[in-house]
Amino acid sequence: MNVPGPVLFVDDEEPLRIAAQQTLELADLDCACFDSAAPALAEISRDFPGILVSDIRMRGMNGTELMRAALGKDPEFPVILVTGHGDLELAVAMMREGAYDFIEKPYAPERLVDTVRRALALRRLTIENRELRAQVAPMIGISDGLRGPSPEMDLVRRQIAMVATSDADVLIVG
């Protein structure tokens, strides 16, 4: 079983960070908490296996700006926004911009855990899909030019794929 990636939780209110961290850790989820957006954003990359949960209203960079910056690094990165100021119009706008979900405070701990688990599952699938595409990509062009479904042709395709990433000169005769 794959271990879920870490949850980056950003909120400038310490009691809320502590409560969220306890909730997520009790659900066996790895959580790193931040009191501002910048250090959490520094953790995010295209290959980062976790997700982001962020309060919207914070000093400095707010949650919507953080979401936009995270999605700038990876448009498929799951971002869950949390707010104590339930605004349906804002929620709809953020979902259209790429937020994974929008949770209104106060929320039940189960709601946070369920949403985080679904977002982590999506992230895991996204990364696995990217890895599989990267493995298959070199073979796509090979299959177009090499005909035949035989085991021998499959071996030739695999061998070509293995040497295709190197700078070696290769001669195939047959």
Per-residue pLDDT tens digits for 43-81: 999 999 999 999 999 999 999 999 999 999 999 999 999
Q: How confident is the model at residue 124 (pLDDT cuts 50, 70, 90)?
A: very high
Element (H, E) at 20: helix 14-26
d(CA 174, CA 156): 10
pTM: 0.78
Domains of the chain and CATH, by start: 7-129 (3.40.50.2300)
Q: Are 51 and 119 in contact (CB under 8 A)?
A: yes
Q: Which of 23, 158, 133, 15 is nearest to 7 (CA)?
A: 23
Q: What is the pLDDT of residue 30?
A: 96
Residue 53 β-bridge partners: 9, 80
Q: Which of 15, 16, 28 is nearest to 7 (CA)?
A: 28
Q: How confident is the model at residue 1 (pLDDT cuts 50, 70, 90)?
A: very low
Per-residue pLDDT tens digits for 97-114: 999 999 998 999 999 999
